[in-house]
Amino acid sequence: MITFFNDSHQAHAPEFEFFRGERVACFETPERAEYVKARLTERGHHLQSAQVDSRAVLGTVHAPRYLDFLEHAWRDWLALAPGNDRCQPFPSIWPVRSLRSDIEPLNFIARLGLYSMDNGSPLSAGTWQAAKAGADAAASAAALVAAGHGGIRAAFCCSRPPGHHAGADFMGGYCFLNNAAAAAQSMRDAGAGRVAILDVDYHHGNGTQSIFYGRPDVLCISVHGDPLTEYPFFLGHADETGQGEGEGFNLNLPLPAGCAASRWFEALEQACQRICRYRADALVVALGLDTFAEDPISKFALRSGDFSRLGRRLGALGLPTVFVLEGGYAAAALGVNAVNVIEGFEEA
C-alpha cells in the first residue's frame, strides 16, 4: 500500500480547546500523526508527499466563500488588533434557525460563527497550510489508486487535521477541509462511476453526509455512536437515507455508547453488504480510530487486534481503496491501530 504523509500537518498546532466548559489542552495534536508515521516507518512502509494540488476538487465539494474565508482567516484575525498572534479566535455567535446565513458579515468573529458548527475547531497560524496539504494528500492518493499503475489498489493518507465533520461551507469537530469528500470526488472525476465512502470513526461524518446527500453516485455509510448521546448530535440518525436523486444512497448505522466489539462488527458487515449491493467501483474509508477502547473521548470497545480484522474485511471487498485518517485520540496507540488496519487489508 502506498502511504502519503502530510509533512505540513505540524503547522496546525492550536494550544487549547474547550471541553465540557473547561479550557484544556487540545486532543487533536501533531503527535497523533507522528505516532502513526513512526509505526509506519518501523514496519517498513515508505512515506511519500502529495503530488496533486487539490484546489480544483475542493472547489467542487466546498463553497468558494468558505474556502476563501478559511485560507485568509489567520491574516484577517491578525489584522483585527495588535497581539492577536498570541490569541486563538473562537466563534461566539452562530446563524441558527431564523437567522440569515446568505449574507456574509464584515465582522471577523461573526464570519467565524457563520462558517463554524461549533467552537471545537480552534484556528492557528498554520491551519490552512496543514488542512490544504491534507486535502492534497487525499487527492494524490485518489489519483494514484484510480490510475492503478503497477497494480496499486490502495493508498493511506497519514494526515491531520481530520476532515469528516467539515461540510460544504463549515468547519467543526477539529475538521476544516473534508479529505474523504475530496478523495471520493477525485475518484469520480478520474472515471469511477460509483464511489462508496465508509466512515468508521466513533463520531458520525456529518460533513461528508451533507456534501453527498442528494447524489446517487457516492454512497455514504457511517458506523458511529448514536447521536442521541454522542457528537455531532444533530445528524447521523438511521432515518437519514438521502434526498432527491440521492434517496437510498445514505446509510447510517448508529450504535449505543459502550457497545461490544461484536455488535460493532455486525454493523460493519451490514455496511460491507450494502457496498457490495451498490456495486461500487471504488472505496474511500474515513478511518477514525477513536473506536479504540482506551480513547479518551469515545466509548466503543475495539482493541488493537480488532483493527487487523477491520482491515481484512475491507480488503476482502476487492475494491480500489483510499484510506484517510480521521479521529483517534489515544495518541500513543494510534500508530499500532492504523498499521494494523493497513496490514490487515494487505493480507486479504
| Residues carrying an active site annotation | 165
Grid coordinates representing 125 are 497560524
Reported as type and span, the H/E element at residue 324 is: strand 321-325
DSSP state of 326: -
Angle formed by the axes of helices 331-347 and 304-315, to 10°? Answer: 30
Instruction: Give the position of cell 472515471.
Output: 191
Reference 11, options 116, 133, 112; nearest CA is 133
Grid coordinates representing 203 are 463520531
321-325 β-sheet, strand order: 47-48, 2-5, 154-158, 321-325, 282-287, 195-199, 218-225, 250-255
Residues present in the chain in total? 348
Grid coordinates representing 251 are 446509510
Cis peptide before 161 (omega within 30 of 0): yes
Residues 6+ apart with CB under 8 A from 326: 162, 163, 164, 180, 199, 201, 205, 286, 287, 288, 289, 290
* Count of CB atoms situated within 10 Å of the CB of 270: 13
CA atoms of 337 and 290, how far apart (whole Å): 10
Question: Hey, which residues does 158 pair with through a beta bridge?
Answer: 5
Question: Hey, which residues does 22 pair with through a beta bridge?
Answer: 19
